Amino acid sequence: MTNLKDKKVVFVLAPRDFRDEEYFQPKVILQSQAVQIFTVAKGNEEELTGSQGGKARTDEKLENITAANFDALVFVGGKGSRVYFKDKKIHKIINDFNDQQKVIAAICSAPAILANAGILKDKKAVCFEKEREILEVNGAKFVDEEIVVDHNIITARDFNAALNFGSKIAELLNK
């Protein structure tokens, strides 16, 4: 197994109703390879609640996240992720990571955040079917696969892809 102990990954969760599997499963995969994980969310809440009842704690403030300090930015889906769909601050962070060609990953509904930030234009991507129109309106090329990688950007369809999503993040971090 690869050791990625020098890599730092930030997971962006909604304060409420993030999809549990889309956070916990990739996190376990990355931690098994010694990746340093940081969890952030909008607002001041330190304890976050998933749609399935899972609990997560923030260990960094969202406003402190910079592309210079992290190797990957990961957005967890679920209905709560909609709080970021039109968030200009998060869009700026996304664009900063993209400008530096850092790994950016989003699963389920969360690829819509990337689309609204403008980084999926002319890129192949997948998402939860309900958000497909947002991707296409923003110029993404929708591909009906479990996981899609286009350069530095990873998108995944839904919670069923969570383990493979985590593995794909590790794979790109190892390049």
Which residues on neighbouring strands pair with residue 154, listed in sequence order? 105, 149
Whether the predicted pLDDT of 1 surpasses 70: no
Whether the predicted pLDDT of 45 surpasses 90: no
For residue 153, the tally of other CB atoms under 10 A from its CB is: 24
Segments of the chain assigned E as strands: 8-13, 16-18, 36-41, 47-50, 55-57, 72-75, 103-107, 124-125, 141-142, 147-150, 153-156
Which of 11, 10, 24 has its CA nearest to residue 54? 24
Average pLDDT, whole number, for the chain? 96
In the prediction, which pLDDT does 4 show? Answer: 83
Which of 135, 54, 146 has its CA nearest to residue 11? 54
pLDDT tens readout for residues 106-147: 999 999 999 999 999 999 999 999 999 999 999 999 999 999
Residue found under tokens 């819509």: 112
pLDDT tens readout for residues 154-164: 999 999 999 99
Q: Are 158 and 165 in contact (CB under 8 A)?
A: no
Strands 47-50 and 16-18: parallel
Domain ranges of the chain: 8-173
pLDDT tens readout for residues 46-61: 899 999 999 999 999 9
What CATH class is the domain 8-173? alpha beta
